[in-house]
Amino acid sequence: MDLQAILQLVINGVLGGAVYSLAALGLALIFGVSGVLNLAHGEFLMLGGFFAFLGYDRLGINPFVLVFIVPPVFFVLGYAFERVMIRPLALRKEHVRLASATLVTLGAALIFEDVAAFASLGTEFDKSIGYFIGSLTVGTLVLPSLKLIMFGLVVLLMAQLAWFLKYTYVGLAVQAVTQSRRGAQLSGVNVAAINGIAFGLGTFLAAAAGALEVIHSSVNPLVGLPLTLKYLCIIVMGGLGSFAGVTLGGMIIGLSESIVGYFTPAWGQTVAYLLLVGILLIRPKGLLGR
Amino acid sequence: MRRHPPTLRALLLPGAVVLGVLALPWLPADSRIYYMQELTMGFLYAGLAQSYDLVGGLLGYINLGHIVFFGLGAYTTGILFNLGVPLIGGLAASILVAGAFAALISIPFFRLRGAYFSLATFALVKLMEHVTDNLRDLTGGSSGLKILAGNRVLPMYYVTLALLAAAMATSWAVGRSRLGLGMKSIREDEGVARDFGVPTTRIKAQALVISTVLPAALGGLFTWYINFINPGEVFGLKLALQPVAMAMLGGSGLVIGPLIGTAFLYGLEELIWTRFEFLQGAMLGLVVVLVGLFMPGGIARLKGVERALERLGLKEDDS
Identify the weakest region by mean pLDDT among A262-266, B79-83, B192-196: A262-266
ipTM score of complex: 0.81
pLDDT digits (tens, 9 = 90+) for B86-99: 889 999 999 999 99
- For the ranges A89-93, A123-127, B63-67, the maximum mean pLDDT occurs at B63-67
Q: Is the pLDDT of residue B319 over 80?
A: no
Which residues are CB-contacts of A26 (< 8 A; sequence separation ≥ 6)?
A: A41, A201, A202, A203, A204, A205, A206, A209
Give the H or E element holding residue A59.
helix A41-59
Residue A32 Cα, gap to closest chain B Cα (Å): 11
Q: CA A109, CA A258: separation in Å to the nearest integer?
A: 28
Closest chain A CA to residue B58: A95
Q: Is the pLDDT of residue B284 over 60?
A: yes
Residue type, A220: N
Cβ neighbors of A109 (< 8 A, separation 6 or more) are A39, A40, A42, A43, A224, A225, A228, B285
The HSE-up count of residue B200 (CA atoms within 13 Å, CB side) is 21
pLDDT reported for residue B4: 62
User: To which H or E segment does residue B229 belong?
Assistant: strand B228-229
| Distance from C-alpha of A253 to C-alpha of A272, rounded to nearest angstrom | 5
Q: Angle CA(A66)–CA(A67)–CA(A71) in degrees, nearest 5?
A: 100
Range with the poorest average pLDDT among A178-192, B27-41, B187-201: B27-41
pLDDT-derived band of residue B122, with 50, 70 and 90 as boundaries? confident
What chain A residue is nearest to B288 in terms of C-alpha separation? A107
Q: Do A37 and B118 touch (CB under 8 A)?
A: yes
In 3D space, the residue among B215, B71, B58, B86 whose CA is nearest the CA of residue B148 turns out to be B86
- Distance of residue A78 Cα from the nearest chain B Cα, in angstroms: 16
Whether B281 sits inside 8 A of A100 (CB atoms) is no
Stronger pLDDT, B225 or A242, i.e. the higher one: B225
Give the dihedral of Cα atoms A104, B269, B211, B130; nearest 10 deg: -80
List the Cα angle A147/A248/A25 in 5-degree steps: 80
**Per-residue pLDDT at A131 exceeds 80:** no
What is the rounded average pLDDT of the residues B239-254?
86
In tens, the pLDDT along A73-105 reads 999 999 999 999 888 888 887 777 877 888 899
pLDDT digits (tens, 9 = 90+) for B152-174: 888 889 999 999 999 999 999 99
Residue B250 in this model has a pLDDT that exceeds 90 = no
B115 CB within 8 Å of a chain A CB: yes
Dihedral (Cα; B246, B252, B257, B258), 10-degree rounding: 40
Question: Under an 8 A CB cutoff, do A226 and B237 touch?
Answer: yes
Q: Model confidence at B6, in pLDDT bands (50, 70, 90)?
A: low
Give chain A's mean pLDDT: 86
Say how many residues make up chain A. 290
For residue A274, pLDDT over 90 is answered with no
Q: Under an 8 A CB cutoff, do A106 and B187 touch?
A: no
Please name the amino acid found at residue A7: L
A99 contacts B62? CB cut-off 8 A? yes
Per-residue pLDDT averaged across A172-187, rounded?
Answer: 90
Query: Strands B228-229 and A136-138, how do they pair?
Result: unpaired
In terms of Cα–Cα distance, which of B239, B216, B208, B238 is closest to B78? Answer: B216
* Highest mean pLDDT out of A221-235, B127-141, B150-164, B214-228: B214-228
If we measure between CA atoms, which residue out of A243, A242, A237 comes closest to residue A275?
A: A237
Closest CA to B99 of B242, B215, B190: B215
Q: How confident is the model at residue A202 (pLDDT cuts 50, 70, 90)?
A: very high
pLDDT tens digits for range B289-299: 888 888 877 88
B137 interaction partners in chain A (CB closer than 8 Å): none
- Arithmetic mean of pLDDT, A188-194: 91
Give the pLDDT of residue A71.
Answer: 92
Cα separation, B304 vs B302, whole angstroms: 6
Inform me whether the C-beta atom of residue A289 falls under 8 Å from chain B C-beta atoms.
no
- Measured between CA atoms, the residue of chain B closest to residue A107 is B285
Give me the residues paired with residue B176 across strands: none
Q: How confident is the model at residue B28 (pLDDT cuts 50, 70, 90)?
A: confident
Percent of chain B with pLDDT over 70: 96
The closest alpha carbon to B9, from B313, B260, B316, belongs to: B313
Q: Any idea where the domains of chain B sit in the sequence?
A: 30-240
How far, in Å, CA of A197 to CA of A205, rounded? 12
- Whole-number pLDDT of residue B188: 86
Strand pairing report for B228-229 and A141-143: unpaired
Can you tell me the distance from the alpha carbon of B250 to that of B168, in angstroms, rounded to the nearest whole number?
A: 14
Give the per-residue pLDDT at A42: 93
Residue B56 has pLDDT above 80, yes or no: yes
List, as one string, the DSSP characters of B46-87.
Answer: HHHHHHHHIIIIII----TTTHHHHHHHHHHHHHHHHTT--H
Low-confidence winner among A191-205, A273-287, B51-65, B203-217 (lowest mean pLDDT):
A273-287
Report how far residue A18's alpha carbon sits from residue A11's, in angstroms, rounded to the nearest whole number.
Answer: 10
Which of B116, B118, B289 is nearest residue A107 as measured by Cβ atoms? B289
Interatomic CA distance for residues A152 and A155, integer angstroms: 5
Q: What is the pLDDT of residue B71?
A: 94
B113 touching chain A per CB within 8 A: no
A37 contacts on B by Cβ (under 8 Å): 115, 118-119
Does residue B1 have a pLDDT over 60? no
Distance (Å, whole) CA A283 – CA A289: 9
Q: How far apart are CA A46 and CA A44, in angstroms?
A: 5
pLDDT, mean over chain B:
86
**B317 pLDDT band (50/70/90 cuts)?**
low
Query: Would you tell me which residues 241-280 of chain A have a C-beta closer than 8 angstroms to some C-beta of chain B?
Result: 266-267, 269-270, 273-274, 276-277, 280
Interface contact B133, partner A, CB < 8 A? yes
Of the candidates B60, B126, B296, which has its C-beta nearest A92's C-beta? B296
CB–CB contact A232 B122 (8 Å): yes
Confidence of residue A196 (pLDDT cuts 50, 70, 90): very high
